[in-house]
Amino acid sequence: LGTQQWIECILGSTGASPMLIMAMITGVMAVRRFFVGPIVHKFNPSGVLLFSAIVTTLGIYSMSMATGNMVYVSALLFAVGVTYFWPTMIGFVAENVPKSGALGMSMLGGAGMFAVSIWNPVIGGWIDSARERALAVNANPEVAKLAAGQATLANLTVFSFVLIFAFTALVIYMRKIMDNNQKVHNR
């Protein structure tokens, strides 16, 4: 969400249309979410979350270096990655913490929105400080805007790496639970 809310500031000077990128990302997410069921059932929710984190990281990283038409390719990669985060996390809570019910899913949604409210000023600060550093080196405002956007995306890549580690731990934890459940059922 942070990347999408700041898309004009971050990608405005890349040579690609930020609004077209936003429409493309949203369109890919809408279409691909119709097909989430079979994918989650085939790979399990924690595996889908890990895959999403990896692909999202690759998309953000490639956007941090791309200009021109390659921004569209990077945005497509990002869109494929972020598509399944939300529905899979909600489904994971519903499936693995069923007693939480609607309250558990609402709390997950609230935590996500709270995180966005915390990260938005941080992302804005990254953009401002990167633009100031770029202007100190180069007087061209468009080059500074591009450098600020790319530096901000590089910073967001670090957060995506944290998600990769978190979802890897989740996959390992869920495998242990499944192995323990199979041992109990085999007795």
In angstroms, rounded to a whole number, what is the distance separating the alpha carbons of residues 46 and 30?
A: 21
Main-chain phi, psi angles of 67, to 5 degrees: -140, 165
- Weakest-pLDDT range from 45-54, 96-105, 138-147, 170-179: 138-147
3-state SS class at 73: helix
Polymer length of the chain: 187
Which structure tokens are listed for 166? 């978190």
Tokens 């944290």 — which residue? 162
Give me the number of domains the chain comprises.
Answer: 1
pLDDT at position 62:
94
pLDDT at position 2:
57
Which residues make Cβ contacts (< 8 Å) with residue 68, sequence separation at least 6? 14, 15, 16
pLDDT tier at 76, thresholds 50, 70, 90: very high
pLDDT tier at 49, thresholds 50, 70, 90: very high
pLDDT tier at 112, thresholds 50, 70, 90: confident
Q: In which domain, by residue range, is 65 found?
A: 2-186
pLDDT at position 146:
87
Prediction pTM value: 0.87
**CATH of residue 123:** 1.20.1250.20
